[in-house]
Amino acid sequence: MRAPALTRRPAATDVGRAWESRLIRSAHPVVARVVDLAVARRSVTRLPGVGLLVADPEAARRVLTDTEHFTKQGPGSSGALWTPVLGERVLLNMDGSEHALLRRSLADLFSPRVVDEVCREAAQPIVARAAEQLRAGEPVDVVRLAREVSAAVIGQVVGLSSDADLADLLRSSDDIESMVTWRTRTFDEAGVDHARRALAVVQDAAESAHRAAQADTVMGRLALQGVSLDEARSLAAALFLTGVGTVSSALPRIVGQLADAGFLDRPGAATADLDAVIAEGLRMTTPSLATLRRCARPTELNGIRPRQDERVVVLLWWATRLSGGFDPGRRAPVAMRHLWFGAGSHFCLGAPLALAELRAMTGMVLEVAAERGLVVTRRVAARRVLVPRYAELWVSAGAPG
Ligand code: HEM
């Protein structure tokens, strides 16, 4: 899809950068300040009690791709947190040949055909409704739009059948997010039970779709490929955990960036590259703020020697900063490119689906903006949440009221 041509309003990009920092600090008031201070002096640095902080894009890429020295398993890893809830085999807690084998068996999970199909059925009706509202002069909260689209898309992937289930899905997503903070290393027994109960809506739907084994559902295709019921249940929960909060965070932040850089309020523009808008939007927003690794063998990283078993915090949001703010006209330096989706063997499995969802929603916003101009009428940063995001971001055609 082609999007309206964009002419940047340079001074306004500082506003976009300031909003991004505000979102990070509102989500993690203490940690964000401490990290800002630590990495301002050195982009790879040791923070006692936390671990090795990596905010340099090349060093971040090295940690994510060098599986000889850095692993996703072990104490303090996100794998250790999720294994008791999801089981042993959910990609994000695996490494090595078993991980590679499972990834290979899922290679077609989000093929272009599947992605088109899922987005057409689950995302397009919601996006079309929002476009109608905007064209009718009604305000639209793009946070709500992104939450509904991302839940409907994952609902379609795992085989949910009704809108009532979708509301449950969003409640579960909020519920689970509220259980995890930067400090959460493990869940106690009650926490594991609670998380399992919250995930039941997803896993039960996945189980029905897997049992039906129809080639026209994602879970059905997994069954036909020989993926076991337990594995499909676990995988469905993992896709839900990774796929709803990230896209819900990304879209409103990209719309905020477009508005702050002056790209939405002038009707009548021609066409430009929607993929470049989304790539630059993801660079600016990098919804997966950070990811964890453990040093499996001592090595050297930008002059620092990570110790055996030391926790390594790969600060993806900090590693993707560039001066000058949001500018879809430029390409990010090679080391930074796609880093918002990670790198190496754990590179985001859902990236094609996330990009398709963002294309559908951002394309619609830019199209309506080109017809009549859009303005942000209200926005509120979410407080103390795991994935930084807006709690609300309303857009409306015409001047702010
Ligand atoms: C804009 C949206 C998204 C962003 C920014 C994002 C970011 C990431 C990142 C940074 C990783 C790598 C983590 C690491 O190496 O430790 C990752 C992994 C993963 N993502 Fe995404 N993600 C997004 C959307 C999605 C969606 C929609 C899905 C599913 C439908 C998904 C499923 C996964 C899975 C399953 C993994 C684990 C892969 C593995 O360990 O092999 N993601 N994502």
User: Is pLDDT of 162 > 90?
Assistant: no
Tell me the HSE value of 360 on the side-chain side, using a 13 A CA sphere: 27
Atom of ligand 1 nearest to the CA of 344: 15
Helices 163-177 and 189-212: crossing angle in degrees, nearest 10, is 150
CA of 241 to the centre of ligand 1 (A): 9
Nearest to 362 by CA among 151, 153, 166, 145: 145
Comparing 72 with 5, which gets the higher pLDDT?
Answer: 72
Give the model's confidence band at 268: pLDDT under 50 very low, under 70 low, under 90 confident, else very high: low
Ligand 1 site, CB within 6 A: 64, 91-92, 103, 238-239, 242-243, 246-247, 250, 287-288, 291, 316, 340-342, 346, 348-350, 353-354
Region 247-265 average pLDDT = 95
Give 54-67 pLDDT, tens digit per residue: 999 999 999 999 99
CA of 238 to the centre of ligand 1 (A): 10
Buried b / exposed e over 114-152, threshold 16 CB at 10 Å, is: bbeebbeebbeebbeebbebbeeeebbbbbbbbbbbbbb
Give the model's confidence band at 178: pLDDT under 50 very low, under 70 low, under 90 confident, else very high: confident
Region 277-292 average pLDDT = 96
Distance CA 287, CA 157 (A): 21
Residue whose Cα lies nearest atom 41 of ligand 1: it is 346
CA of 137 to the centre of ligand 1 (A): 36
Q: From the CB of residue 394, how many other CB atoms can be counted at a distance below 10 Å? A: 19
Give the model's confidence band at 401: pLDDT under 50 very low, under 70 low, under 90 confident, else very high: very low
3-state secondary structure 54-77: ECCHHHHHHHHHCCCCEECCCCCC
Which CATH architecture fits 2-397?
A: Orthogonal Bundle (1.10)
User: Is pLDDT of 240 > 60?
Assistant: yes
Give the model's confidence band at 305: pLDDT under 50 very low, under 70 low, under 90 confident, else very high: very high
Give 321-342 pLDDT, tens digit per residue: 998 889 998 889 999 999 999 9
The alpha carbon dihedral of 160, 166, 172, 174 has a sign of positive
Q: How many residues does the chain have?
A: 401
Per-chain mean pLDDT for the chain: 90
Distance CA 369, CA 363 (A): 10
Distances (CA, A) of 227 to 35, 105, 153, 206, 236: 41, 8, 21, 12, 12
Give the model's confidence band at 44: pLDDT under 50 very low, under 70 low, under 90 confident, else very high: very high
Q: Note the pLDDT of residue 174.
A: 86
**Residue pair 274/2 in contact by the 8 Å Cβ criterion:** yes
Q: Note the pLDDT of residue 76.
A: 63
Task: Give me the amino acid identity at 385.
Answer: V
User: Is pLDDT of 163 > 80?
Assistant: no
User: Among 107-121, 211-225, 267-281, whose mean pLDDT is lowest?
Assistant: 267-281
Tell me the HSE value of 174 on the side-chain side, using a 13 A CA sphere: 10
Spatial strand order in the sheet of 390-397: 140-141, 390-397, 374-381
